[in-house]
Amino acid sequence: RVQAALHTRKMLRAEKRKRQSEIEDKRRQLDDLVLQLQHLKSKAMRERWLLQGTTPGTNDEDDGRRQQLEKDEEQGKRLEDSIDRLESEIGLLESEECQISAKEQTLRERLRKTERSIEDLQKVRERSSIYRHNISL
């Protein structure tokens, strides 16, 4: 019974480390996406600034800028969707990590109680052997 509990605790720790590693990976991905989005937004802001005051269709360079701006805005939306998805995944992983921690804590408390029970039984056994020894004298 104690061996099974110790094995379960070991498995919970491994699962918790796995979740923590996944969370770290997702956070790194999230940081990268946020940086990409910030870069894209500043690029789009610059393109908008360059296009201010120009009328559509005046020259090829402006048309190219408008097309690039549209592409950048679409990519920005995709990045925002990816960021939202990653944030949700991180939240889910953090929730799972908390559940694993709670299970581990419960198991740790059960093991402590079992340990105390074993110690109590050993003390009772020692006392009874001392008692038997005294009676035989």
Residue 78 inside a domain? The answer is yes
pLDDT at 57: 64
Burial (CB count within 10 angstroms: exposed 0-12, middle 13-18, buried 19+), residue 77: exposed
Residue 29 inside a domain? The answer is yes
Per-run averaged pLDDT (10 residues), the chain, 137 residues: 87 96 98 98 92 75 89 97 98 97 93 83 78 68
Long-range contacts of 19-25 (CB under 8 A, 24+ apart): 19/93, 19/96, 19/97, 19/100, 20/97, 22/93, 23/90, 23/93, 23/94, 23/97
Which sign does the torsion angle of CA 33, 35, 41, 43 carry?
negative
Residue 134 inside a domain? The answer is no
Retrieve residue 2's tokens: 């104690």
pLDDT at 125: 80
Q: Provide CB contacts within 8 A for 64, sequence distance 6+.
A: none
Residues 104/9, Cβ–Cβ less than 8 Å: yes
Token look-up 């939306």 returns 77
- Exposure on the CB side of residue 113, measured as CA atoms within 13 A: 8
Retrieve residue 28's tokens: 């790194």
pLDDT at 17: 97
Residue 127 inside a domain? The answer is no
pTM over 0.75: no
Query: How many domains does one find in the chain?
Result: 1
Q: Which domain holds residue 87?
A: 2-108
